[in-house]
Amino acid sequence: MAHPTPHAGPLTLTVNGASRTIEGASPDTPLLYILRNDFELNGPKYGCGLGQCGACAVIVDGQPTRSCVVPASVAIGREVTTLEGLGTPTALHPVQRAFIDEQAAQCGYCLNGMIMSAKALLDRNPYPDDDAIRDALRYNLCRCGTHFEIVKAVRRAADYLRAERAHESER
């Protein structure tokens, strides 16, 4: 027997520190669709739509999350961070800066997932070794084969973040 369609109504989420509401959303809608189609946040990408590639990663309460397979209702009452919540073109987040400095991209389609997973890793482990970096990114697929540069970028990002923290503690 088919499950009844959940009632569509107002849906309020906290995204990148701001509360946002849309009307007429089904809570079963994948979070990725709400972010991209309703909130116009196009950092998270649609890759496989099956939770397998990581292109759609966002951070929900500190955890890297595949937004293509998570219903929007799971994010209610939680903090959602997308790529847009990290930095701006004129004030990049250290992880974004490190990926640019290492030129860790070819087509760039996987980068949202790589960067969001790297950020979540570095928030919980400021001193990751290469094994820890590879482990954190092991389910993020890069079809262009840029993995070597990506690991180097995460290493560099860890350096930038530690330097930033040391600088702040001296002030």
**Smaller CB separation from ligand FES, 48 or 132:** 48
52-111: contacts with ligand FES (CB under 6 A): 52-56, 66, 68, 105-110
Those residues with Cβ within 8 angstroms of residue 108's Cβ, 6 or more apart along the chain or in another chain:
none
**Quick one: which segment of 4-12, 19-27, 87-95, 137-145 binds ligand FES (CB under 6 A)?**
137-145
> Hey, is 25 helix, strand or coil?
strand
> x/- binding map, residues 18-47, to ligand FES, per CB under 6 A?
----------------------------xx
Residue 106 is encoded by which pair of tokens? Answer: 């070819």
Q: Which stretch binds ligand FES (CB under 6 A): 17-25, 49-57, 87-95, 123-131?
A: 49-57
Least Cβ distance, residue 112 to ligand FES (angstroms): 10
CB of 20 vs ligand FES, minimal distance in Å: 21
Q: Which of 110, 139, 136, 113 is nearest to 125 (CA)?
A: 136
C-alpha separations of 6 from 14, 36, 73 in Å: 21, 21, 11
Cβ within 8 Å of residue 11, ≥6 positions away: 21, 22, 25, 27, 34, 72, 73, 76
* Residue 49 binds ligand FES, judged by CB under 6 A: yes
Q: Helices then strands (H, E): number in the chain?
A: 5, 5
Question: From the CB of 62, what's the least distance to ligand FES, in Å?
Answer: 19
Binding positions for ligand FES, rule: CB under 6 A = 46-49, 51-56, 66, 68, 105-110, 142-144, 146
